[in-house]
Amino acid sequence: WKRVVAHQTRNVPHSGHEWLMKGAWFSANGELPVEKLKTGILVNCIIGPKRMGDYIDEAIALCHHKLCEARYFRDDIHLVSIALWDMRYAGPKEAIFHAILRTNLGCTHHMFGRDHAGVGSYYDPYDAHRIFDQISEEKLSIKPVRILEWWYCPVCGEVTYSGLCAHSK
């Protein structure tokens, strides 16, 4: 792969994650010709202690492997891996650490969603996005892919976000 998009997860995948990964893949693939797929998605499942109520490690990894088996993604653009990591829920500062970690894994892009590494309402849901405005991509050697909150709109009958859909959530 010429470009690698990191998707960090401590959850089992759902249709929203599928949309997020595909959107980040298109964003990273950018000007590359589609017939020459050079961008991959590295799903990095967080394995280790997490907060009460989070999914068990086995469920997270197994469900992501099931996505592969069901061919929701092409084999040549999707790879599932694990990261042994104790989540700190340090919000923006942890997001910077995650970017450095994924750079060391060879990723060129990293997805950062709403409330990345946050806990409850301690941080603003987009603080992890804003911290990357203070650090150049060249200094980090990775491009943050900032992702807004996506949701299912029953009127549109599809997954969307407020930037695309005028219906209320």
Looking at 10, 29, 44, 146, which residue is catalytic?
10
Enclosing H/E stretch for 152: strand 151-153
State the Rg of the chain over Cα. 16
Percent composition of the chain: helix, strand, coil (DSSP 3-state, to 5): 35, 20, 45
User: Residue 104 catalytic?
Assistant: no
Instruction: Confirm whether 11 is a catalytic residue.
Output: yes
| Amino acid residing at 145 | V
Q: How is 10-60 classified by DSSP, letter by letter?
A: SS---HHHHHHHHHHHHHHHTTS-TTS--EEEEEEEEES---TTPPPHHHH
Are the beta carbons of 60 and 11 closer than 8 angstroms? Answer: yes
Task: Give 68's Cβ-side CA count (13 Å radius).
Answer: 16
The helix (run of H) or strand (run of E) holding residue 7 is: strand 3-9
Instruction: Indicate which residues carry an active-site annotation.
Output: 10-11
